[in-house]
Amino acid sequence: MPSSDLRSPAAGAEAAPLAHDPLDAIVATLEEDIVFGRLHPRERLVEDDLMERFGVKRHVVRDALTALDRLGLVERRKNVGAVVRSFSVQEVTELYEVRGMLETEAARRIDLQRVPAHLDTLIAIQQQHDTAVAAGDARTVFRVNLAFHRELFSLCGNQTLQKAIAEFARQTHPIRFASLVSAEYRERARQEHWQMIEALKAGDIDGLVALCASHLLPSRDAYLNAQQYRG
């Protein structure tokens, strides 16, 4: 498996900065636990443990698990309770096929006349991503990566398409952990972001579409390889 040196807190460590709403904070923290592989596919989320960890009542924990279920990050199983969602090979393949269709279509629809007004923002976001990758800052790598793609695909001008991209990206959060913790994959993503920026500068939409298609593959393949490794 690819080497890992991404620094991220252990499961019992201090959570990400909490939102004002305790429910939102719990959802965000558990989302990060899933994304960074601190909670593994098929791992059970025990209500009593979560109540103790977050210092909240049972109904808050149940609401958080319901929210995570709606987001596609956990699933409810009869006589078991909530577990981190796992994916079959077919499910992973299909999810990434849909993401590829959505994201390449958004890239294809980018209005080059809008690029100059957004380019400085996109570059500033990527500079933050560079810094986070160099520092091994897991949370910032994850969040700034989302911001980069949100800004990039906003250039297509179709808000419904942007929402669909965000929704399917979120559904694949549990799949991404193997690539997030790999220095090799993080560096590849960083370089590809800059290649996307250069394609925008050059007005090379075909090149951008190809980059968006290939950019998705490492996280898909890393998840499948990790699951095979775990047996």
pLDDT at 14: 39
pLDDT for 61 equals 96
pLDDT band at 150 (very low <50, low <70, confident <90, very high): very high
Average pLDDT over residues 1-21: 45
pLDDT digits (tens, 9 = 90+) for 172-226: 888 877 677 778 888 999 999 999 999 999 999 999 999 999 999 988 888 888 7
Topology adopted by domain 22-84:
Arc Repressor Mutant, subunit A (1.10.10)
At 105 the pLDDT is 98
Q: Does domain 89-229 have CATH number 1.20.120.530?
A: yes
Closest CA to 66 of 56, 58, 76: 76
Q: What is the pLDDT of residues 94-117, one digit of tens each?
A: 999 999 999 999 999 999 999 999
- Quote the distance between the C-alpha of residue 144 and its chain's center: 10
Confirm if 2 and 221 have CB atoms less than 8 A apart. no
Give the model's pLDDT for residue 202: 97
Confidence check: pLDDT of 78 > 90: no
76 bridge partner residues: 82
pLDDT of res. 200: 97
Domain spans, the chain:
22-84, 89-229
What tokens were used for 142? 């994850």
CA distances from 228 to 1, 89, 146 (A): 11, 10, 27
- Whole-model pTM: value is 0.81
